[in-house]
Structure 1
């Protein structure tokens, strides 16, 4: 509390703190002021801060509080209406001016949202921004979405470079290519990268090396360049087009620009050709000397500039291709820009694997996946899919609205889905499909739908997202969807797009299986998720891959992904406003009667058409997520409430009952995440099943659906609960020469009585701690609060550890 005075608020807040919480009252007093609270605790240390005094310094307190508060933390600022003194224009006291300035900043601050304003004297409640759902302790969030922004150069920026190709057809395709066949990408780091800290530079460079290494091995150009790459210099005004030696060169009118840009960076002169200019009397010449050029097949310019395209809070990186080679139109230079803000401060949800995945994604935008490149695609014979203007060699039609050349219907087609089901009735849904031959074949095989027209492109998002990614609803964890929501894969669908461009040979050995939507048929891929969910629920079937959960976050169920490699949760959330009518899904929801309220519920990911599905979790205020195979996700022993083990040898297993933890040598009890799941190490035993290792004990799973009773004593605590055994084939089936046990014809009926489990716990506690009376409930959960209702209500939305008041 900044301004404690009599301590009334401090005492009220203390009543809501958990037993391990900490309250820090601050006041202007020589006895305490030298403690330097701000520096001692550091950034992102507090869940709640109450600014209550020293109004002349409100602005400074607010700015410092934003540094100290956790993402999604609350800041309360008292006296923000100042008993109507703000309305008095003649009141120019230091305090009044400071409050006015603070209110103006708070109103427009994109770092936090105003959640509540108490009238009268005024108390403003703000929440530091992050997309999350609050659940039981430990608090976790639906994995934050990292967006991709791709910008195509318009027709005045797009140029051919001064380089041609020779056929590469003497090399036949194979699963693996030799070193000499590798796609040579030259990485050039802009000066902006060198301005980052050493750790940030290393993070970017290691991620870029890993990403380019993948593409260098997975693809290669069909036609090799016959010379070093020298990019064309850009023109300051309207360009003049001429034909020289049977291929296209732009000549600038009067002069070239002093600087040539590729995306967000300035291209080094060493990478540029001479300046090609024509005077008004049509005298054309080359001025100056050309650079030495680059001995590579693609130049990747990497920058770290906080551009306006980085402004959306979820944008991690942006990308753009720059110039094309002049024979086959293949891009030969591109820029990816990593938003430096996302590498600093509260970026717990970014890890190395995700950064590599993002950079792989952005590189692909520079190579092929761009609405600005579709009109330049060529067939297997090297002929353009889209008709060209013979005078310019550019595609004939330019879309001024989208600022891209329009591809032919051999590449893109609009398909109308009749009777598309929504909450308010049926509509005609217009979709855009990529229909090139290999893409069409792959996507039909994937969904098991022989009549599918092609692969649907994203229809939502702004320029740079729509039409430049696969549709999120249908290809959720494919790397080329428009937002990163959980671990992604580069599937054969994306590799097929590279092949269909006519520019690359690909090795499909580098593709990974896309499990989302696999073999779900035409009904899944051609209908809305509302129709799919409704039809499954009518048949009393699971609406997989979509999900339904309680609309109240406290009751949301954590469960295992269908691969059992991570813990997931249904990402159904309530929005502040009704979601767009065409995406509204539910006619009714449990315990909600207000139809306007129902209209606000949908999936957490807008690009997935608001369809709810099970999604990976990130634990609040930590570097942990819910992937079982990452040892970095292992919680501390103090926070390991369900004895989980994260490792390369771990899988996810569903809990069959509410787990209980008896702590302080069985003197107190607390419940652990009802209807949850956890990550545990396992051992496969051929013909017998598999063991789940929990704590110091092993538990044998012999058949699917078996309820295994868990009793384990660890760290002065006793844990009790059950685990539901999954299918042995899911856990061990990928092992060579492994045989799962035969399943019984009749599964034993297992009804684990809580009283029996409790008796077993009692025996363990009595044996270990000589404790004869088990607690009936966790006393720390029984909080009796009598005053300051507003603040206590807000604090209840957290499992608070540190509160600064």
Structure 2
């Protein structure tokens, strides 16, 4: 932008800078305005949250009793030693996507997610092709003595669907019909089915109504179950076309979203809890002699599971603002899950893994509780860096349908080793108790998000983050009022403050986010993503995103100096910087190519660097060298 040309034009606001000739010369105030407003007005904090779109299928949408060629007693005896094989069927509608999105879905997102589950899960070996059943026109089926196939009373449907996708004829068995007078017959065409597969996944990308609800990026479910052990053998995943992001900083979340959704199709769904089986293939939940299925609960619209799978647990004296209340939670209590959650939280008396209590049927009970498991990938919303933990793999084993390879479990640090108080008490009581003893209130926080923004680091130092404690326009429900007082907040208004993520019971925590600029898209705050680098002209704290970068706290606000001009950077608190570890030098922080050496936790590194004729000044706080570096460092 051209500089203003006369002192009159920048009356009262003119400033000077030192040019290449060593003299201070006139420079337009507009440059300062750009610096100022890029921070104050053009950059907005955007909560990085997406909800899961899974909805438990209605009974009519699920076909049972797919026959895989062998009787149940033979299948039960099989070992879980067959690596899961998923056969992909792409709906023709994917061709309506922009080429870049179609390529991303077919060549990157779906293959990556499917490959993860194929590596991670094993099933009982089957030697026969998967032939899916045709859906029936009515809700009634019959069985013929000695015949494992169900017969439709009246007739088969003209088309069989799996979610929004019409199943091609080649994947379907012939139609079987039961007529009046006990006449059973097989009519029409039967396709060859799918060989060398254990699960058929139909992939679509259509703008369904569910894409308009909340912030769903994709959704998935099962549609057909096999007859021997009720394992899902077919399902679908539908991606919402408008929400498929090709931005590099969103790829990790897109991958995690599809891994999450595919797992709903494979078994993690409240609609399937009643069908879970023990390691011997016996059902945890009693079956009706007349239908062979568990009882159906018309109020919840779910097959009713036994308390061997999900149990209600009451917590008394649950502390909230101004009261102690009684709350009842639903916990998944299958054996391997109980073992893993007790180890993770270091709580030997923990009854099980708490399930989400908020949201609609597709969210409540079908995900882990956000307050307890935060960034576990199978919680009901995506907030930051989701991981598939050992606890989720334990659930898949407890279905009775899979064996999990725990080598592919991802590290969950949230709540790890924090004991029974963390997982059994309210976050208000946890924060109060910790603060009273002088301990950190981690993983929660109590700094109100404000403008200018004061950033922090994520607990594992992989992202710039912010405490998501915000003010709501209305008072929060009493059971979710998690503060009795807050610094600089009118006591009468404290009931309006809570965490940004409602599924976490409004408990505030440090959360990664995206910077959103008015006209130039957004960038994330994950340190390892090169595309998150800011433009040089607004990189005031000299950050660097990419390989070998992590988050460091700032000690003071950064400032820019140019001759007599000083600009204090009001958004500060943390940043991503390159670092290296060595046995000789310990932890070394690299800022604009210069190395700064950390000798102990809490050491302050003073940074001075001239970039584009501006002196950048700031300070970085050293973390623990031994906690940060994997190499053996000198003492």
Pairwise same-fold verdict (TM > 0.5): yes
Q: Does 1:380 align with 2:285?
A: no
Q: CA deviation at 1:675?
A: 4.9
Equivalent residues of 2:80, 2:403 under 8 A apart: no
Q: CA deviation at 1:158?
A: 2.5
Equivalent residues of 2:397, 2:404 under 8 A apart: yes
Q: Does 1:474 align with 2:377?
A: no
1: CA distance, partners of 2:42 / 2:387: 29
Q: CA deviation at 1:186?
A: 0.5
Task: Select which of 288, 294, 302 maps to 2:194.
Answer: 294
Q: CA deviation at 1:263?
A: 1.1
Q: CA deviation at 1:673?
A: 3.6
Match of 1:85 in 2: none
Match of 2:437 in 1: 539
2: CA distance, partners of 1:164 / 1:504: 19
Equivalent residues of 2:142, 2:178 under 8 A apart: no
Equivalent residues of 1:651, 1:731 under 8 A apart: no
Aligned partner of residue 425 in structure 2, secondary structure: coil
Match of 2:58 in 1: 154
2: CA distance, partners of 1:588 / 1:325: 55
Q: CA deviation at 1:722?
A: 1.4
Match of 2:298 in 1: 400
Q: CA deviation at 1:412?
A: 0.7
Match of 1:458 in 2: 356
Equivalent residues of 1:689, 1:703 under 8 A apart: no
User: In 2 relative to 1, CA 135–459 (structure 1 residues): closer, same or farther, beyond 3 Å?
Assistant: farther
1: CA distance, partners of 2:581 / 2:450: 36
Q: CA deviation at 1:711?
A: 1.0
Task: Select which of 249, 265, 271 maps to 1:366.
Answer: 265
Alignment of 1:725-736 (within 5 A): 725-732=622-629, 734-735=630-631
Match of 1:3 in 2: none
Q: Structure 1 length as normaliser, TM-score?
A: 0.71
1: CA distance, partners of 2:535 / 2:307: 56
Alignment of 1:377-776 (within 5 A): 377-395=276-294, 397-549=295-447, 551=448, 553-554=450-451, 556-593=453-490, 595=492, 597-621=493-517, 622-663=521-562, 666-673=563-570, 675-732=572-629, 734-735=630-631, 738-739=632-633, 741-742=634-635
Alignment of 1:110-121 (within 5 A): none
Equivalent residues of 1:572, 1:612 under 8 A apart: yes
Equivalent residues of 1:564, 1:730 under 8 A apart: no
Aligned length: 597
2: CA distance, partners of 1:700 / 1:568: 24
CA deviations 1:381-432 (Å, max 9, x no partner) are 111111111232111x211122111111111101111111111412211100
Match of 2:6 in 1: none
CA deviations 1:197-243 (Å, max 9, x no partner) are 1111011111000000111111111x223421111111122313325
2: CA distance, partners of 1:455 / 1:594: 35
Match of 1:314 in 2: 215
Q: Which structure 2 segments of 5+ residues have no match?
A: 1-27
User: In 2 relative to 1, CA 168–250 (structure 1 residues): closer, same or farther, beyond 3 Å?
Assistant: closer
Q: CA deviation at 1:510?
A: 0.4
User: In 2 relative to 1, CA 135–386 (structure 1 residues): closer, same or farther, beyond 3 Å?
Assistant: farther
Match of 1:261 in 2: 161
Aligned partner of residue 212 in structure 1, secondary structure: helix
User: In 2 relative to 1, CA 172–359 (structure 1 residues): closer, same or farther, beyond 3 Å?
Assistant: closer
CA deviations 1:730-774 (Å, max 9, x no partner) are 221x23xx22x43xxxxxxxxxxxxxxxxxxxxxxxxxxxxxxxx
2: CA distance, partners of 1:535 / 1:22: 46
Q: CA deviation at 1:155?
A: 2.6
Equivalent residues of 1:164, 1:326 under 8 A apart: no
Q: Does 1:163 align with 2:62?
A: no
Q: Structure 2 length as normaliser, TM-score?
A: 0.90
1: CA distance, partners of 2:602 / 2:573: 16
1: CA distance, partners of 2:172 / 2:557: 66
Equivalent residues of 1:583, 1:610 under 8 A apart: yes
CA deviations 1:40-99 (Å, max 9, x no partner) are xxxxxxx9xxxxxxxxxxxxxxxxxxxxxxxxxxxxxxxxxxxxxxxxxxxxxxxxxxxx
2: CA distance, partners of 1:170 / 1:428: 46
Equivalent residues of 2:249, 2:524 under 8 A apart: no
Task: Select which of 194, 207, 210 maps to 2:109.
Answer: 207
Equivalent residues of 1:148, 1:465 under 8 A apart: yes
Q: Does 1:273 align with 2:173?
A: yes
Aligned partner of residue 141 in structure 1, secondary structure: strand
User: In 2 relative to 1, CA 138–649 (structure 1 residues): closer, same or farther, beyond 3 Å?
Assistant: farther
Q: CA deviation at 1:714?
A: 1.5
User: In 2 relative to 1, CA 717–448 (structure 1 residues): closer, same or farther, beyond 3 Å?
Assistant: same
Match of 2:92 in 1: 191
Equivalent residues of 2:39, 2:571 under 8 A apart: no
Equivalent residues of 1:558, 1:675 under 8 A apart: yes
1: CA distance, partners of 2:489 / 2:87: 57
User: In 2 relative to 1, CA 140–467 (structure 1 residues): closer, same or farther, beyond 3 Å?
Assistant: same
User: In 2 relative to 1, CA 647–333 (structure 1 residues): closer, same or farther, beyond 3 Å?
Assistant: same
Equivalent residues of 1:661, 1:720 under 8 A apart: yes
Q: CA deviation at 1:272?
A: 0.9
Equivalent residues of 2:80, 2:125 under 8 A apart: no
Aligned partner of residue 214 in structure 1, secondary structure: helix
Match of 1:335 in 2: 236
Equivalent residues of 1:159, 1:323 under 8 A apart: yes
2: CA distance, partners of 1:707 / 1:236: 73
Equivalent residues of 1:662, 1:717 under 8 A apart: yes
Equivalent residues of 1:306, 1:340 under 8 A apart: yes
Poorly superposed stretches of 4+, deviation over 4 Å:
20-23, 134-138, 164-173, 347-350
Task: Select which of 209, 216, 222 maps to 2:118.
Answer: 216
Aligned partner of residue 203 in structure 1, secondary structure: helix
1: CA distance, partners of 2:29 / 2:182: 81
Q: Which structure 1 segments of 5+ residues have no match?
A: 1-16, 24-46, 48-133, 174-180, 743-805
Equivalent residues of 2:67, 2:228 under 8 A apart: no
RMSD: 2.3
Equivalent residues of 1:164, 1:327 under 8 A apart: no
2: CA distance, partners of 1:405 / 1:536: 42
1: CA distance, partners of 2:198 / 2:141: 27
